[in-house]
Amino acid sequence: MNKTEFIQDLGVIVGSKNDIYFIIQYDAKKRLNTLQINVGDEENGAFLDFLAGYRDFHPGIGSRIEFQGNISRLYIPLDFSQIDQENELDQILEAITLELATRRYIQRCGVSGRTDNLAIYRLDNNVEILNAEVYNQRVRDFEENRNSGSERSPLAYIGALGGVLLGMALWVIVGLIGFIVGIIGAVMILAGIKGYQMFGGKKSKQSIIIIAIMSVLGIVLAEYISISISYYQAINGLIPYQYILFDIMPTLIQEPEIIRIMLFDISFGILLSLLSTWSLIKEEIKSVENPTIYYEVYRDVDTSHQF
């Protein structure tokens, strides 16, 4: 059975030809669309020789074709700027799948390697060729992860605090070395989220915002500590550090020059942190607000057999 479907929100083309499933999706690293077929290199490069010759007639097929033997996947780059998608793409898919079928290549589940009960499934933003049992287990894992943890777990926020404290320590150390510390604020936010999850916290919009606020306060406190240590070093330790931290610093930070330095470092740190993590924070919030999407995209009844 030959059929093609388009997953519009992902920009992914899926289907089957000659009883072989295929997935076409954009590869950001290669900046090309990639045709994926779940087969291994069963002829030690013979199929690649066929493709090398076939490329002479269809230059839109990329040269960096590769088998990933550990997961039995064939990746073929496709340059759509050189391919007529109305007619030529279908010819390419027909020729490649027919050649694989003629050579009796066996398609497999992309996770388990099983050859039975295969279909194309969507798991959130990923599209994979899987065995039905593997897919069902993936769905159960998704549900367990989504329902695990607590949004109000004190232990989880202790974990988040630990991540923020780690970022604060890094801020102080990097600042004393003399490097620009602004980007460390991003590390603080990410470490806070990671610590929250490690201690059983369930991600929510509220928890992510709280961790972001904790990180901003962490930046302010880290800068305060950094200046106090610099002052301690400047006087060669003549005054106990505890006295500087709790007695001298409250007066010192009222000085216009110190205020200017602190405000610049803190503002710069917060700005860089938000710029570098804003897209991630939005994605994290989006991931907890929007339900996970998973469903069977396409099943060809003729693919249950092996060639």
Summarised one tens digit per residue, pLDDT across range 237-248 is 888 988 988 888
The mean pLDDT value of the chain amounts to 85
Q: In this structure, are 118 and 196 located in the same domain?
A: no
Give yes or no: residues 264 and 300 share one domain: no
298 and 281 within one domain: no
Token duo for residue 306: 């092996």
Do the Cβ atoms of 100 and 18 come closer than 8 Å?
yes
Mean local confidence (pLDDT), 34-43 = 87
Residue ranges making up the domain that contains 278: 150-289
Q: Are residues 184 and 199 in the same domain?
A: yes
Residue 131, CA distances (Å) to 15, 103, 107, 122, 214 in order = 16, 23, 11, 13, 44
203 Cβ partners below 8 Å, 6+ apart? 149, 193, 196, 197, 284, 287, 288
Over residues 253-306, the pLDDT tens digits come to 888 888 888 888 888 888 888 787 787 777 777 766 666 788 999 998 655 444
141 found inside a domain: no
How does pLDDT run across 189-231, given as a tens digit for each residue? 889 988 998 888 877 778 888 998 999 899 899 989 988 998 8
* Domain shared by 116 and 165, yes or no: no
Whole-angstrom Cα distance, residue 198 to residue 202?
A: 10
Give me the mean pLDDT over the 157-186 stretch.
84
Q: Evaluate whether residue 131 is within a structural domain.
A: no
Distance CA 182, CA 189 (A): 12
Question: Measured in whole angstroms, how far is the alpha carbon of residue 105 from the centre of its chain?
Answer: 32
Residue 145 lies in a domain: no
Q: Which of 20-24, 183-187, 257-261, 302-306 has the lowest mean pLDDT?
A: 302-306
* Cβ atoms of residues 93 and 79 within 8 Å: no
User: Comparing C-alpha atoms, which of 208, 227, 196 is closest to residue 274?
Assistant: 208
Residues 97 and 184 in one domain: no
Examine residue 73 and state whether it is found in any structural domain, yes or no: yes
Instruction: Please indicate, yes or no, whether residues 120 and 160 belong to a single structural domain of this protein.
Output: no
Cβ distance 187 to 169 under 8 Å?
no
Mean pLDDT, range 80-94, rounded to an integer: 91
Our count of domains for the chain comes to 2
- Model pLDDT, residue 264: 86
- Give this prediction's pTM: 0.60
Q: 199 phi and psi, to 5 degrees? A: -100, 25
Question: Looking at the DSSP assignment, which residues form a beta bridge with residue 128?
Answer: 121
Are 153 and 201 a contacting pair, CB within 8 Å? yes
Closest CA to 83 of 72, 74, 96: 96
What would the two tokens of residue 57 be?
Answer: 């007639």
- Asked if residue 138 belongs to a domain, the reply is no
Q: What's residue 35's pLDDT?
A: 95
Rg over alpha carbons for the chain, rounded to the nearest Å, is 28
70 inside domain: yes
Contacts of 301 (CB under 8 A, 6+ apart): 1
Same domain, 101 and 178: no
Whether residues 90 and 172 share a domain: the answer is: no
Strand order across the beta sheet in which 294-298 lies: 126-131, 118-123, 294-298
Q: What is the CATH number of the domain that holds 36?
A: 3.30.1460
pLDDT at residue 146 is higher than 70? no
pLDDT at 38: 94
Residues 175 and 283 in one domain: yes
Check whether residue 275 and residue 298 sit in a common domain.
no
- Which tokens go with 200? 């059983």
Residues 45-51 have a mean pLDDT of 85
136 assigned to some structural domain:
no
Is residue 165 located within the same domain as residue 110?
no
Give domain status of residue 143, yes or no.
Answer: no
